[in-house]
Amino acid sequence: MGLLGGHGLELIIVLVVALLVFGPKKLPEMGSAIGKSIKEFKNGVNEISKPKDDEAEPNSQHAATESARLELEAIERELAAKKAALAAQEAAQPEVKATPTVD
């Protein structure tokens, strides 16, 4: 096994292609959006898979707080997905340069 578990060259190639396609300005933004999406996904999976001890005695205030938190997380995931889609759409469009008009 070499660098990064034997997949170092492939990772470098993917990063170079992403840099060429999206440009140096959009790449950090997209990476951040993807990272946040992955984090939210992991949190959701962990929340579903772990047993809840407090379900035996439901508390209305706790239930309302939990419901609001879940709704907020869903909105954050939707926002991150929309940001990533917008960044991909902007990267796919060619840059329009202003051309002087002759009157």
38-58 pLDDT tens trace? 999 998 888 888 866 555 455
Whether residue 10 lies inside any domain: the answer is: no
**Residue 9 forms part of a structural domain:** no
Global confidence as pTM: 0.36
pLDDT reported for residue 87 = 82
- In whole angstroms, what is the distance from residue 89 CA to residue 95 CA? 12
> Per the domain annotation, does 22 fall within a domain?
yes
Tokens of 34: 């993807």
Task: Tell me, yes or no, whether 65 lies in a domain.
Answer: yes
- Judge whether 26 lies within some domain: yes
What stretch of H or E contains 53? Answer: none
Strands (E), the chain: none
Domain membership of residue 101 (yes or no) is no
Whether the pLDDT of residue 95 is over 70: the answer is: no
pLDDT of residue 53: 56
Asked, for residue 6, whether it belongs to a domain, the answer is no
pLDDT at 1 over 50: no
Q: Which of 19, 45, 29 is nearest to 82 (CA)?
A: 29
Query: Which range of residues forms the domain containing residue 39?
Result: 17-50+58-90
Q: How many structural domains does the chain have?
A: 1
Contacts of 19 (CB under 8 A, 6+ apart): 27
Q: Could you tell me if residue 70 is inside a domain?
A: yes
Question: Percent of the chain having pLDDT more than 70?
Answer: 76
